[in-house]
Amino acid sequence: MRLYDDVIDGILDVPATDGATAALAGNATIHLAPRRALHRYEGATVLPVAPDGTPVESQRVTGAALTVYEGGVTLEYTGPRNFLTSALIVLVPAGEQFAAVAVEVNAVRRRSGGLVTADGTLGGFADELLQPERLTPTLRPETLRFELGFPAETLDRWVRAGVLRPVWLDRVQVCPRCRALPTFRQGCKSCGSARVGNDRLIHHFACAHVGQARDFAAGPNDLACPKCRARHLVVGADFEYVVGPYRCHDCHWSDTELSPVGHCLRCSLRFPGEQAHEIELKGYHAHRLDALAVRQAP
Ligand SMILES: [Zn+2]
Ligand SMILES: [Zn+2]
Ligand SMILES: [Zn+2]
């Protein structure tokens, strides 16, 4: 995209006569040879795209006509001769709704009666606003954050302009400090360590004593109850193994349950899982004019 000042050299103040050759500033010439229109859309709306990607609402033009040729387009409208930029979003009627198409203007002619004719091509900077990959939050490897191709505030303005539609995608948990992607593990509620383990306990049925398995050791392959002194205990018949409470090897905290612990992959913040910040992933949808339909003759 260029700012309009750069396009001034391409502006032709000549009557639009098919077959004419008009001199441009410098040595360039433009051949206005008759071209066969592939498609013509009446009742189009034109919105210039500012360099920061926002719509220039003050220059919205309605009732325009977009003609698609092989290798180029022509836009006819009554309105400002100079849009702020050469990047335009054009909304054309498509059935019940409007379809968006990006146009990059190369040259502007003014005809009598205030009618402006702008020649250009499909695509350009404005097309980035319509690309699905720029409209869907994606995890960026550099930031480890879900980011859109444009700031959400910018895309929201295109929603209000009638070009984009918001799409709810998902809900994800992110770092409470930097909003980047964390990992989660079950760990110590007190210090966040994942170096936790269980004690192995033995439950002696006969006397109902429950104690550390190591306290039942009574020689090679023999187990004895430290409370009632019964010997030669047989697993299943005399006792069962029981999983004891969790114990943290770092801070010696003990509890019957572990807790989810988050660890940010970007800023290394360690935090209780329930403190994770939850964000909604919202994307945008552009109803684009089917490029194939544009290129095929009606
Ligand atoms: Zn701990
Ligand atoms: Zn016992
Ligand atoms: Zn972080």
Both 19 and 116 in one domain: the answer is yes
Both 24 and 98 in one domain: the answer is yes
pLDDT tens figures, 149-180: 999 999 999 999 999 999 999 999 999 999 99
Both 50 and 122 in one domain: the answer is yes
Check pLDDT > 80 for residue 35: no
Both 124 and 202 in one domain: the answer is no
Spatial distance between the Cα atoms of 99 and 45, rounded to a whole number of angstroms: 10
Q: Is residue 280 part of a domain?
A: no
Spatial distance between the Cα atoms of 49 and 130, rounded to a whole number of angstroms: 12
The pLDDT value recorded for residue 293 is 57
The CA 240 to ligand 2 mean position distance, Å, reads: 12
The pLDDT value recorded for residue 33 is 55
Both 125 and 228 in one domain: the answer is no
The CA 193 to ligand 1 mean position distance, Å, reads: 5
The CA 159 to ligand 2 mean position distance, Å, reads: 74
Beta-carbon count within 10 A of 124 CB = 20
Spatial distance between the Cα atoms of 23 and 32, rounded to a whole number of angstroms: 11
The pLDDT value recorded for residue 9 is 38
Average pLDDT (125-131) is 95
The pLDDT value recorded for residue 19 is 40
Q: Are 157 and 56 contacting, i.e. CB atoms less than 8 angstroms apart?
A: no
**More confident: 23 or 290:** 290
Specify the CATH number for the domain of residue 53: 2.40.10
The CA 174 to ligand 1 mean position distance, Å, reads: 23
Spatial distance between the Cα atoms of 187 and 253, rounded to a whole number of angstroms: 11
Q: Is residue 236 part of a domain?
A: yes
* Smallest-distance ligand from the CA of 197: 1
Q: Which of 130, 152, 170 is the C-terminal boundary of a domain?
A: 130
Q: Is residue 206 part of a domain?
A: yes
Both 23 and 90 in one domain: the answer is yes
Share of the chain above pLDDT 90, in %: 74
Both 20 and 122 in one domain: the answer is yes
* Band of pLDDT at residue 21, cut at 50, 70 and 90: very low
Q: Mean pLDDT over all residues of the chain?
A: 87
Average pLDDT (81-108) is 92
The CA 54 to ligand 1 mean position distance, Å, reads: 50
Spatial distance between the Cα atoms of 181 and 267, rounded to a whole number of angstroms: 10
The CA 227 to ligand 2 mean position distance, Å, reads: 5
The pLDDT value recorded for residue 234 is 95
Q: Are 222 and 214 contacting, i.e. CB atoms less than 8 angstroms apart?
A: no
Q: Is residue 292 part of a domain?
A: no
H-type alpha helices, the chain: 4-7, 132-135, 152-160, 291-295
Both 125 and 193 in one domain: the answer is no
pLDDT tens figures, 185-219: 999 999 999 999 998 999 999 999 999 999 999 98
The CA 123 to ligand 1 mean position distance, Å, reads: 57
Q: Is residue 92 part of a domain?
A: yes
Share of the chain above pLDDT 70, in %: 86
What's the alpha-carbon Rg for the chain, to the nearest Å? Answer: 35
Check pLDDT > 80 for residue 294: no
* Smallest-distance ligand from the CA of 203: 2
Neighbours of ion ligand 1 (CB under 5 A): 188, 190-191, 193, 248, 250-251, 253
The pLDDT value recorded for residue 113 is 79
Domain span at residue 93? 13-130
Q: Is residue 194 part of a domain?
A: yes
The pLDDT value recorded for residue 36 is 79
Both 101 and 23 in one domain: the answer is yes
Both 124 and 199 in one domain: the answer is no
Q: Is residue 296 part of a domain?
A: no
Q: Is residue 237 part of a domain?
A: yes
Q: Which two tokens stand for residue 255?
A: 């509890």
Nearest to 55 by CA among 150, 134, 143: 150
Q: Which of 115, 130, 145 is the C-terminal boundary of a domain?
A: 130
Number of folded domains that form the chain = 2
The CA 171 to ligand 1 mean position distance, Å, reads: 30
